[in-house]
Amino acid sequence: MIYLDNAATTAPDAAAVSAALAFYGQKFHNPSSLYGAGFEAHRAVQDARRSLLAHIAPAGGFELVFTASGSEADNQTIFSSVRRGNFVTTAGEHAAVYQSAKELERRGIEVRYARLHADGSVDGEDLLRLVDEHTSLVSVIHVNNETGAVNDIAALSAAVKQKNAKALFHSDGVQAFGKIAFSLPQSIDLYTVSAHKIGGVRGAAALIRKKGVPLHPLIFGGGQENGLRSGTENTFAIVQFAAAAEKKFSSLGRDLEHVRALNSAVRAGLDAGIFTVLSAEDASPYIVSVAAKGLRGEVLLHMLDDAGVQVGTGSACSSKNRYSRVMLACGLGEALADGVLRISFCAQNTAEEVAEAVAIINRCAAQLKERTK
C-alpha cells in the first residue's frame, strides 16, 4: 500500500517511539506524584516542553501548554480569548477553528470571515478590513490543510497589531510545525502544534502562548499544566512528540527538498486532460490538491484504495461532507469541488512509490471517466 495522506496523520516514527517507550512500560508513573518515579516523569515532561519550544521560539518569550490534540488547543484559544467583542478569522480554517466560530455565533458573538484567494490563502486586505477596536481575537491558519497555501502570519499579525494592539493573534500551525522553517515573532500570541503530523503519536499536542497573554482553562480538574489544562499528562506521547520533533527539525531542509521533488513529480505526471492542480506553486510542498472535473472524488478515492494507493479528498476531519467548504470558499465550482483529491507527503515517501501512485491515479481516473460517459 502506498500511503499519500500524510496531512491526515503520519506513521509514528519508530526511533521516537523507542526513545519514549520506557514511559509506556516500567516508567508509567504519574508526573504529579511526589515520589522519585513521579519526579522522573515530571522531568521528562519538562524536558520535552523545553525541547519543543526551542524549535519554534528559540529567542524565548513563549510558554507551552500540553494538550491532547490540536483541536483542543484551538478550542482553548478561542473560548478563552473571545468573550466579548468580535472574532475575526478566515473561510479557510481547520474545522476545529471553524466549528468553534460557529459555536460562538450560536452564543451571540459576532464572527467575521475573511475571503480566500483561489489557492486557499487569506485575502490580507479583507482580513485587516474586518479588524476593528472591538476585535478580541484574530485566527489565521499558517498552512492551509487542504491546499497547502502558506499564509504570511508574521506580516499579518504585525498588521493586525498596528490596527488594534489589544487584539490577540492565533494561528493553527499544525501543518507547518516541523515542515517549513519558521520562528514565532512577538506579534503572534498563540500557536497550535500537534505530534501526529510529524511522526508523533496521537494524544499529544500543544498550545504555545506568548508570556503574559491571558489564557483560561478549557478542562478543569487537578490543575496540571500550571492550572491551564487539567488531566494527567500523557508522558509517553509527550516524550515521543519531542523526540519526533527533534528528528524532524534536524532534517527540515533536506526533507523539504525531497518532498518538493515528490510534489513536482505529481504535478508533472498527472493526466492534464483529467486533473486540474489547485495548489499554488509556492504552497507547502507537503500538500498538493487536484481536481478531476466531472468525477466524484470519493468514488475515485475508493478505487485508488482498492488499487493500493491511499489519498484524501480534503480535510480528514471534514471528509463526510460531499463538497469541501474550503474549496468552495476558494471559488471552486461544485463540478470541480466534487472531484478533489488531496495528495500529501512525508519524508519517508520515495520517488519510486510516488511514480507508481501517479500511474495508478491516472489509470483509475481514466476508468472512472469512461464509466461516467
Convert the pLDDT of each residue in 22-73 to its tens digit: 999 999 999 999 999 999 999 999 999 999 999 999 999 999 999 999 999 9
Q: Which of 78-82, 285-289, 314-318 has the lowest mean pLDDT?
A: 314-318
Cell numbers at 59, concatenated: 529567542
Q: What is the CATH number of the domain that holds 290?
A: 3.90.1150.10
Q: Both 230 and 367 in a single domain?
A: no
Summarize the confidence of residues 83-105 as an average pLDDT.
97
Percent of the chain clearing pLDDT 90 (strictly above): 95
Count of domains in the chain? Answer: 2
Question: Residue 322: what residue type?
Answer: R
- The Cα–Cα gap between 305 and 1 comes to 8
- The Cα–Cα gap between 118 and 340 comes to 14
CB half-sphere exposure, 225, CA atoms < 13 A: 29
Convert the pLDDT of each residue in 335-364 to its tens digit: 899 999 999 999 999 999 999 999 999 999
Q: Both 6 and 30 in a single domain?
A: no
Q: Both 344 and 241 in a single domain?
A: no
Summarize the confidence of residues 301-310 as an average pLDDT.
98
- The Cα–Cα gap between 90 and 129 comes to 12
pLDDT interval class at 372 (50, 70, 90): confident
- The Cα–Cα gap between 216 and 192 comes to 15
Q: Both 236 and 271 in a single domain?
A: no
pLDDT at 335: 86
Containing structural domain, residue 256: 2-10+252-371
Q: Both 49 and 155 in a single domain?
A: yes
Convert the pLDDT of each residue in 173-196 to its tens digit: 999 999 999 999 999 999 999 999
Q: Both 203 and 113 in a single domain?
A: yes
Convert the pLDDT of each residue in 151-160 to its tens digit: 999 999 999 9
Q: What is the CATH number of the domain that holds 208?
A: 3.40.640.10
E strand spans, 13-131:
62-67, 86-90, 110-114
Summarize the confidence of residues 324-335 as an average pLDDT.
92
**Under 8 Å between Cβ of 213 and 168:** yes
Q: Both 236 and 326 in a single domain?
A: no
* DSSP tag of 122: B
Domain-terminating residue out of 249, 279, 306: 249
Q: Both 183 and 306 in a single domain?
A: no
pLDDT interval class at 315 (50, 70, 90): low
Q: Both 33 and 114 in a single domain?
A: yes
The helix or strand, by DSSP H or E, that contains position 208, with its residue range, turns out to be strand 205-210
pLDDT above 90 (res 320): no
Mean of the per-residue pLDDT values for the chain?
96
Residues 6 or more apart from 282 whose CB is under 8 A from it? Answer: 150
DSSP characters for 297-335?
A: HHHHHHHHHHHTEE-BSS-GGGTTSSS-HHHHHTT--HH
Convert the pLDDT of each residue in 220-258 to its tens digit: 999 999 999 999 999 999 999 999 999 999 999 999 999
The helix or strand, by DSSP H or E, that contains position 263, with its residue range, turns out to be helix 252-269
Beta bridge partners of residue 291, listed in sequence order: 276, 340
Summarize the confidence of residues 310-339 as an average pLDDT.
82
- The Cα–Cα gap between 289 and 319 comes to 14
Cell 468525477 appears where? 295
Residues 6 or more apart from 307 whose CB is under 8 A from it? Answer: 360, 363, 364
Q: Both 184 and 264 in a single domain?
A: no
pLDDT at 329: 94
Summarize the confidence of residues 297-303 as an average pLDDT.
96
**Residues 23, 27, 32, 36, CA torsion sign:** negative
Summarize the confidence of residues 99-126 as an average pLDDT.
98
**Under 8 Å between Cβ of 150 and 284:** yes
pLDDT at 321: 67
Entry field: residues in the chain: 373
Q: Both 268 and 138 in a single domain?
A: no
pLDDT interval class at 316 (50, 70, 90): low
pLDDT at 262: 98
Domain-terminating residue out of 203, 220, 249: 249
- The Cα–Cα gap between 170 and 138 comes to 6
Q: Both 212 and 264 in a single domain?
A: no
**Under 8 Å between Cβ of 279 and 287:** yes
- The Cα–Cα gap between 286 and 179 comes to 8
pLDDT at 64: 98
Residues 6 or more apart from 87 whose CB is under 8 A from it? Answer: 78, 101, 104, 109, 110, 111, 112, 135, 136, 137, 138, 139
Residues annotated as catalytic are 317
Residues 6 or more apart from 139 whose CB is under 8 A from it? Answer: 74, 77, 78, 87, 88, 89, 90, 93, 97, 169, 170, 171, 172
pLDDT above 60 (res 317): no
Domain-terminating residue out of 227, 249, 271: 249
- The Cα–Cα gap between 185 and 169 comes to 11
What are the backbone angles phi and psi of residue 193, rounded to the nearest 5°?
Answer: -135, 160
Crossing angle of helices 235-250/36-56, nearest 10°?
Answer: 30
